[in-house]
Amino acid sequence: MEFRKLIERRYSVRAYRPDPVPAQALAAVLDAARLAPTAANRQAFRLIVVKTRGREEELKRVYGKDWFVQPPLVIAVCGLPGENWVRRDGRNYVDVDAAIVMDHLILAAADAGLGTCWIGAFDPQAAREVLGLPPEAEPIAFTPLGYPADEPRPKKRKALEEIVRYERW
């Protein structure tokens, strides 16, 4: 799909069909995340793919909305702060890198006709327990992954003039 149409079409899906995600589509989505640029190309992240069937109540401890567990899959993006690039002032770029990875993943999903919803308001302790994360891994974002059962609403975005400032050349 043409990129502009893709970014206009992608939306936060909050209703999913139970239809399975084909293995080839899942592989393409995960590979897009793998190809995401990361600081110093450290790739200090891990993707955890969770099948929702039979784990609904457990996963709802992470994020309590029913639609979170409607699709067949949920994906977690976890950062590895100890392996990540750190700026001279001590700023660890683990959150930035994970955000880029998630963005690639959700755009690839939209390109494949799949729905996602970026979840940041989850319970990190429950995520650690449910996913069995080691101490060095930090859960950063989740998304359900499946076929949408809803329709996008019109996007509300600020005008460019409100968000862009040009320095004098």
Residue-wise pLDDT for 53-83, tens only, equals 999 999 999 999 999 999 999 999 999 999 9
Structural domain range at position 14:
3-150
Cα 1 to its chain centre, rounded Å, is: 20
Over pLDDT 90: what percentage of the chain? 96
Whether 58 maps to a domain, the answer reads yes
Residue 106 falls inside a structural domain? yes
Phi, psi of 48 (to 5 degrees): -120, 120
Q: Is the pTM of this model over 0.75?
A: yes
Q: How confident is the model at residue 5 (pLDDT cuts 50, 70, 90)?
A: very high
Residue 97 covered by a domain: yes
How many domains does the chain divide into?
1
Question: What's the rounded mean pLDDT across residues 142-146?
Answer: 98
156 occurs within a structural domain: no
In a domain, residue 125? The reply is: yes
The dihedrals phi and psi of 69, each to the nearest 5 degrees, come to: -110, 10
Structure tokens at 46: 């891990």
Residue 165 lies in a domain: no
Structure tokens at 75: 């994906």
Does the pLDDT of residue 169 top 70, yes or no?
A: no
CA nearest to 133, candidates 17, 35, 46, 32: 46
- Please report, for the domain that includes residue 7, its CATH number: 3.40.109.10
Query: Can you list the positions of beta strands (E) in the chain?
Result: 45-51, 73-79, 138-145
Is 163 inside a domain boundary? no
Residue 121 lies in a domain: yes
Give pLDDT, residue 168: 83
CB contact at 8 A, 29 and 105: yes
